[in-house]
Amino acid sequence: MQFSALQLASLLGGKIEGNPDIHVNNIAKIEEAGEGKLSFIANPKYEEFIYTTQASILIINESLVLEKPVSPTLIRVKDAYSSFALLLEKFKQLTSNKVGIQQPSYIPSSVKMGENVFVGAFAYLGENVVLGNNVKIYPNVYLGDNVTVADDSILYPGVRVYDNCMIGARVMLHAGCVIGGDGFGFAPQPDGSYKKVPQIGNVVVHDDVEIGANTTIDRATMGSTVIRKGVKLDNLIQVAHNVDIGNNTVIAGQTGISGSTKIGANCVIGGQVGIVGHIHLADGTKINAQSGLSKSVSETNMALNGSPAFDYKSSLKSQAIFRNLPELEKRVKELEDMVKQMLSEKAGI
């Protein structure tokens, strides 16, 4: 792989500052990039490196104002992060593109497959499984009976999809995630024990969803747990039965969502957040990491923080005073002493 600044700029629709003929052969982080390497700056935290990097070519935002001369050839684009992502994607496509059926794998005759499918060794496909074109099923994956996977989806090693679940197109399921395990539903009995409520629904994962490693999404009691188009879930997230997550909502690692909660579109939810069951979050809700949501949010685009969560800015103020609670308590003590003193003086007069 060898690209000139001119080639890259024309691919990205960017503007060159420096030598258009300089070449790069690989991609690296700004703080580690040496000669012959391509790098980028999108986060202002890293702008200082622009003056010290040994990279041969840098992709930067067209809006970035330089304070002094720099050594790399620059390619200015509207959005350096997106442009760089595009280049990474091209690079990724140059790496191995698996196709074919490895042996031993378990594929009943009722399974239907599209073209260019990959099924790794030790993968297990249940009865009536349907795989679209270009689907990649890595080794040790399990698909239960009647599972469908639409075109261009990738299921990494050890993914488990229980019976009757549906996976959309261009979906990426990372290693060890579990789709369609039983929802956590039990009816308390008079003797203190619990009786399992059978979970006969399924999980529907729409197109363009990515689900992280070891994340678990439970099947619905009835009906479907729904992960809508473009949702991105990080690792180790728990999604309970009958949850519905709206288009393009992004959720960071280790967050948990309790049963029957409905999350709107375009929400951004931090890591380790807990959300109780049977509530609704409006579109565009933003939730800070480690928050706990116990009530529905009806207004769109609210930012929330804390456990229990409330308005983000107010919560920061409360947290700041929390830090100084001993000081506040001291002020109250001093007031009490002063007032007592005043009262005793008054009584004394």
Instruction: Return the active site residues.
Output: 241
- Which residues are 167's β-sheet partners? 149, 205
* Unique residue bearing structure tokens 């009865």: 127
Question: What gap in Å lies between CA 236 and CA 168, rounded to an integer?
Answer: 21
Beta carbon nearer to its own copies, 299 or 345? 345
- Nearer to its own copies by Cβ, of 89 and 299: the residue is 89
Q: Which residue has the tokens 């024990």?
A: 193
Neighbouring residues of 264: CB distance < 8 A, sequence distance ≥ 6? 246, 249, 280, 281, 282, 283, 284, 285, 300
Distance of closest approach, residue 15 Cβ to its own copies, in angstroms: 20
Judge contact between 88 and 73, C-beta under 8 A.
Answer: no
Q: Which CB atom, from 54 or from 266, has the smaller least distance to its own copies?
A: 266
Taking the complex as a whole, the smallest distance from the CB of residue 114 to its own copies amounts, in Å, to 22
Find the helix or strand (DSSP H, E) in which 333 lies.
helix 325-348
Nearest distance from C-beta of residue 69 to its own copies, angstroms: 26
- What residue has token string 């690209």? 3
* Residue 140 vs 148, nearer CB to its own copies: 140
3-state secondary structure of 307: coil
123, 141 in Cβ contact below 8 A?
yes
Contact present, 187 and 221 (Cβ < 8 Å): no
Instruction: Write down the least CB distance from residue 132 to its own copies, Å.
Output: 19
Q: Smallest distance, Å, CB 143 to its own copies?
A: 9
Name the residue nearer to its own copies (CB basis): 15 or 317. Answer: 317
Tell me if residue 84 falls in helix, strand or coil.
helix
- From the CB of residue 105, how many other CB atoms can be counted at a distance below 10 Å? 17
